[in-house]
Amino acid sequence: MGQQQLLLLVLSVIIVGIAIVVGITMFNDQSASANLDAVCNDLTNLASRAQQYAIRPEAMGGGGGDFDNLTIQHLTSDPTNGNGTFALLSAGGNLASIQGTGTLDGDNDGNPCQATVSVNIDSIVSMIVNNR
């Protein structure tokens, strides 16, 4: 009887250990996913501000119909927040591109989540570069 109880105890410890490891993995995956969602949300906000800049007349500090002379300072006073870092990759004519790099690395490969938006005067297209 004592040997059977010892076996059940060891089996219980193994099952609890596996459950803890699975829980930690699921939590890390969820955190990375939430960070990517937050970066995409911030990029959409910055893209909207870029569109506002483009349609604003030059006399009022805007682009007058295009993205020429657009800088990241036109979009935000601080391109870094708790979700990540944002950069204006290109701007000119009727197209601008903004990149966001998150703060979390969900799969521990050394690369945090990353997304890019292409902004046209009448549309926004998001692309996830690295989802972890």
The 3-class SS string of 49-79 reads HHHHHHHCCHHHCCCCCCCCCCCHHHHCCCC
Per the prediction, the chain carries an average pLDDT of 91
Tell me what pLDDT residue 84 has. 95
pLDDT tens for each residue of 61-84? 899 999 999 999 999 999 999 999
DSSP character at residue 100: E
pLDDT at 27: 83
Q: How far apart are the first and last CA of the chain?
A: 50
Residues of the domain holding 91: 2-130
Overall pTM > 0.85: no
Higher-confidence residue of 90 and 31: namely 90
Residue 108: pLDDT band (50, 70, 90) is confident
Match 């966001």 to its residue by tokens.
Answer: 100
Give Cα 74 distance to the centre of its chain: 20
What's the number of domains the chain is made of?
1
Please check the confidence at residue 1 and state whether its pLDDT lies above 70: no
pLDDT at 66: 92
Bridge partners (DSSP) listed for residue 119: 96, 124
pLDDT in tens, 22-63: 998 888 778 888 999 999 999 999 999 999 999 999 999 899
